[in-house]
């Protein structure tokens, strides 16, 4: 088991910000890194999915920016930061599985592209990390290293070649046509790229390219970056 990371003397959690495109492995890798280091894990994409679910449940149209913004006013959202006990709740309803339904997946880009929504949700992410009580929190998603936590002590862009990302996503979604999965991934990349740049590392962000790495080696590579950035090496 790796040695723990030293935390700041002020008690603030070490924030590990991880960006990356769909299929790069950032969710599974981030969760395992958090598990190994004893950190919390924040899946930021779940918030956008939960809001998309909330809009749909209310009969709203996620392509209508004004409807999306209106829905966030009564968006009572909670998420677990425990990598071994992941759950998502909206109001009194646990939506952990529901936010992964195809109808939500198809609608989430419409929610995530609204600037007012991103601003409100980013404030929520910072509050969740600050109140976590954890030694550190691994935060993964889009524009985490540049907008949400631009001053995080550890900022990583986890990426992989498009063909590799498509193959990995296809393997996750058993029973679905590989070509259709690849096409959906490319469409999502194109849509999300209109809002955030998730393929180019900003200054000070370390790139971890997992194209030639298996899962365990990718986890090790990310942990090595964390240790170097926090002065543990």
Is 27 known to sit in a ligand binding site? yes
- Topology match between the domains 12-39+136-233 and 44-133: yes
**CATH class of the 44-133 domain in this structure:** alpha beta
Where do we find the tokens 């590392």?
A: 201
pTM, entire model: 0.85
The pLDDT assigned to 114 comes to 92
Give 207's strand partners: 157
Is 25 known to sit in a ligand binding site? yes
The pLDDT assigned to 48 comes to 95
For 170-181, the pLDDT digits (tens) are 666 555 566 666
Is 20 known to sit in a ligand binding site? yes
Is 28 known to sit in a ligand binding site? yes
The pLDDT assigned to 185 comes to 67
Domain boundaries, the chain: 12-39+136-233, 44-133
The pLDDT assigned to 11 comes to 67
Nearest to 72 by CA among 52, 88, 92: 52
Low-confidence ranges of the chain (pLDDT < 70): 1-11, 169-199, 232-233
Report, at the CATH architecture level, how domain 12-39+136-233 is classified: 3-Layer(aba) Sandwich (3.40)
Nearest to 140 by CA among 181, 193, 62, 198: 198
Is 110 known to sit in a ligand binding site? no
The pLDDT assigned to 35 comes to 97
Is 26 known to sit in a ligand binding site? yes
The pLDDT assigned to 165 comes to 82
Contact in structure between 24 and 159 (CB atoms under 8 Å): yes
Contact in structure between 160 and 210 (CB atoms under 8 Å): yes
Q: How far apart are CA 18 and CA 75, in angstroms?
A: 25
Is 133 known to sit in a ligand binding site? no
């Amino acid at each position: 088991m790796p040695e723990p990371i030293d935390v700041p003397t002020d008690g603030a959690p070490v924030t590990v910000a991880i960006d990356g495109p769909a299929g790069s492995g950032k969710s599974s890798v981030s969760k395992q890194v958090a598990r190994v280091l004893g950190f919390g894990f924040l899946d930021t994409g779940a918030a956008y999915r939960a809001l998309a679910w909330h809009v749909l449940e209310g009969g709203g149209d996620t392509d209508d920016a004004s409807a999306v913004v209106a829905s966030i006013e009564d968006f009572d959202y909670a998420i677990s930061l425990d990598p071994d006990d992941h759950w998502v709740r909206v109001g009194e309803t646990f939506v952990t599985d529901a936010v992964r339904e195809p109808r939500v997946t198809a609608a989430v880009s419409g929610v995530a592209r609204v600037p007012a929504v991103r601003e409100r949700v980013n404030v929520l992410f910072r509050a969740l990390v600050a109140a976590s009580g954890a030694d550190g929190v691994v935060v993964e998603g889009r524009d985490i290293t540049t907008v949400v936590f631009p001053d995080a002590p550890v900022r990583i862009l986890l990426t992989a070649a498009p063909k590799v990302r498509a193959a990995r996503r296809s393997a996750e979604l058993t029973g679905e046509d590989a070509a259709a999965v690849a096409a959906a991934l490319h469409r999502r990349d194109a849509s999300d790229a209109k809002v955030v740049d998730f393929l180019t590392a900003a200054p000070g962000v370390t790139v971890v390219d997992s194209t030639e790495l298996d899962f365990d080696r990718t986890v090790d590579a990310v942990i090595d970056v964390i240790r170097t950035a926090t002065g543990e090496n």
